[in-house]
Structure 1
Amino acid sequence: MFPLLVTIVVIALIFDYINGFHDAANSIATIVSTKVLSPFQAVLWAAFWNAIAYFIFTDHKVANTIANTIKPEFIDLHVILAGLIAAICWNLLTWWFGIPSSSSHTLIGGFIGAAFAKVGSLSVIVYSNLFKTVLFIFLSPLIGMFIAFFFNILVAWICRKANPYKAERWFKRLQLISSAALSLGHGGNDAQKVMGLITVAIAVYHNNGSIPPDTKDLLHHMPEWVPAACYCAIGLGTMSGGWKIVKTMGSRITKVTSLEGFTAETSAAATLMIAERMGIPVSTTHTITGAIMGVGATKRLSAVRWGVTLSLVWAWVLTIPVSAVLAAIVYWISRTIAHFA
């Protein structure tokens, strides 16, 4: 069992690394598109703040939600492994095609699909946790959009008499702060998702294939190296970039100025941090997309390329079911191999 546990930990950290470069575009797209930082400078900036989140988000509420998406009696190492592999596959596929899908929901879908494959019943799901996660698939972009819409109007009104050249220069400086806040929120929300699975996997190993009925206590005794490794992995992944998605987020949805980049990033960061305090695993992708739509809509509704946005929505809706199917297939394959091994 120990080699399987080590495999899960390594694959989980690989998932965090991929999450970093897959979602790096979310926190740096606007700052690159407004030419505040070069792409290389931007990924270093984002990676730094991803790692700093380790010292700020210590309650691990999001990790708890992920760990409790499936009822404990249906969790084993093969379920966790299959969920992670499926999540990685979907992340890489959407990254390849430049689609900013959600790493969070990919992981949840994979976890559910693998558990379903084990027992053949949807009774494996803790529906209260799944419901609030699915609800925020739709709410997080809407919240980001509405906050950004009104915040952008407010900031533009406050600065209506400012010298355009000076205002542009100041907002480029402020974008350094807003992008840092967004990267901080990204690290704090996203790195926790794998922490929960690694901690549960360790518990399963130490309890000979089973875990206590309540996994909440497990997360209060999480080994210190788990969050440290997860934040480092996501930071290193962010440094690897994700330029296909940068193009989609930074220019294809709507063109943004420095002022709009600042308000979009600030609004998205606020949404992420509120969700983290509530223990809800939301998508950085969904949130910043909604915020960019919000600032675009302040100019005119036609300023937002709604056709691009619609294709992103389809990717969001499909993420959990597709990941679940992939995980079920991986689980059946892994169990078949284990049976004949």
Structure 2
Amino acid sequence: MIETLFIVTLLVSIYMAWNIGANDAANSMATSYGSGALTLRQIIIIAGILEFSGAFLFGSRVTKTVGKGIVPIEHLDPTIVTIGALSAILSAGLWITIATYYHLPVSTSHSIVGAMLGFGFAAVAEDLIPLESIKWGVLYKIALSWVVSPLTGALLAFIIFSLIRIFILSNMDVDKVEGVFRYLQVLTACYVAFAHGSNDVANAVGPISATFGFSETPSWILALGGLGIAIGVATWGYRVIETVGKRITELTPTRGFSAEFATATTVLSASYFGMPISTTHTLVGSVLGVGFAGGLASVDISVVKRIIYSWVLTIPAAATLTITIYTLMVVFI
């Protein structure tokens, strides 16, 4: 039975990784699409390679936080841990699939953390662990990072674009400047894709790594997650790319460069410190930052509201789904 659950969990992790690629592809490439710097075909190729590279080379730090930093799995029976991890990954994946269908860029980090928290609540309800054993301090730090990251991204993007506008756009031919930044934006898009893969692969493989009992996440698991993300980018990523790239604010190569550079710097810094921040929040914050630099009228507030509503729903939705799936699995297995 345990071996069967491991195999099923592995398959569901691939499904989760696919969802991350499908939804979070927008985080790395949407601004390049919105500004016209890259076509969708180019985005699929570049994002696939860089997302996989970031996941494989730099993804182990955050994986440890997601897998073992929330629920005290060391106090639980291995079968319960496997069922809980499976429930969490499946729940997070289902929620992201729904969001992607409606073109909403939700946070995959929110989804998996909310799902793992739901597993923790289910274990508490069964008297398997006390409520206070859930690592609330870790959750507090993660939640704080979700607030700080979009604000940091927005501030950095605002400053970068303002400097470009003051010192470059106002003193040179605008068309020539935008032409140069079209190429520079391709580099920053690669930077974001690598940073995103390094941080968000944990949302797919963190729980499975914990389930298998690995102290360090093996390279083959990181590679599996990276491959799933790349496939998600190629097959369904276009749905959210349009929302972030074209519906929030008008993007030019200079604006896209500013948003991408700010996002990648924020996310890669968080990955280094092992914090699973929301790449979605960071990029949307960065896009808003360059939008506000051009004046509030340039930002479509109605689209921003829809995105924020989906963010608010993510944690309770993922947690509720996990509790439901976990309860059903415990009953029927």
Give the aligned residue type for 1:275.
A
Aligned: 1:196 with 2:191: no
Q: After TM superposition, give the deviation of residue 165 of structure 1 in Å.
A: 2.3
Q: How far, CA to CA, are the matches of 1:84 and 1:317 in structure 2?
A: 19
TM-score (normalised: structure 1): 0.90
Percentage identity across paired residues of the two chains: 29
In the TM superposition, what is the alpha-carbon distance from 1:158 to its structure 2 partner?
2.4
For residues 197 and 323 of structure 1, what CA distance do their matches in structure 2 show? 14
For 1:337 and 1:133, the matched residues in 2 are separated by: 34
Equivalent position of 2:132 in the other structure: 123
* Pairs aligned (count): 322
Deviation at 1:124, TM superposition (A): 4.6
Conservation of the 8 A alpha-carbon contact between 1:49 and 1:187: yes
Distance 2:85 2:106 in 1: 21
Structure 1 CA distance for aligned equivalents of residues 56 and 85 of structure 2: 27
Q: Deviations over 1:174-225 (max 9, x none)?
A: 011010001011100011233321221112xxxxxxxxxxxxxx433x3331
* TM-fit CA distance, 1:118: 2.6
- The aligned residue for residue 3 of structure 1 is 4
Residue of structure 2 equivalent to 1:66: 66
1:211 aligned partner:
none
Output aligned runs, 1:1-341, within 5 Å: 1-54=2-55, 56-57=57-58, 60-67=60-67, 68-72=69-73, 73-74=75-76, 76-120=81-125, 122-159=131-168, 160-203=170-213, 218-220=214-216, 222-338=217-333
Runs of 4+ in 1 over 4 A off after TM superposition: none
User: Aligned to 2:218, what secondary structure does the other structure show?
Assistant: coil
Distance 2:271 2:203 in 1: 11
Q: TM-score, normalised by structure 2?
A: 0.92
Partner SS for 1:161: coil
Q: What is the DSSP-based 3-state SS (H/G/I as helix, E as strand, rest coil) of the residue aligned with 2:104?
A: coil
> How far off is 1:115 after superposition?
2.6
* Structure 1 portions without partners, runs of 5+: 204-217
Residue 95 of structure 1 and its aligned partner are, at CA, apart by 0.8
User: What letter is aligned with 1:47?
Assistant: G
User: Matched residues in 1 for 2:235 and 2:161: separation?
Assistant: 31
Residue 137 of structure 1 and its aligned partner are, at CA, apart by 2.0
Q: How far, CA to CA, are the matches of 2:261 and 2:291 in structure 1?
A: 15
* Cα displacement string for residues 283-319 of structure 1 (whole angstroms, at most 9, x for unaligned residues): 1111110000000001112211223212212211221
Secondary structure in 1 matching 2:201: helix
Q: CA deviation at 1:30?
A: 1.2
Paired with 1:124 and 1:14, the residues of 2 have a C-alpha distance of: 30
Query: How far apart, CA to CA, are the structure 1 residues paired with 2:321 and 2:146?
Result: 20
CA contact (8 A) 1:196 1:219 kept: no
Counterparts of 1:102 and 1:124 in 2: how far apart (Å)?
26
Aligned-residue offset at 1:55 = 5.4
Query: Aligned AA for 2:239?
Result: K
- Measured in 2, the distance between the counterparts of 1:223 and 1:251 equals 38
- 1:43-90: CA deviations, max 9, x gaps? 2111111112145416x2211211211112246111111111111110
Cα pair 2:150 2:285 within 8 Å, conserved: yes
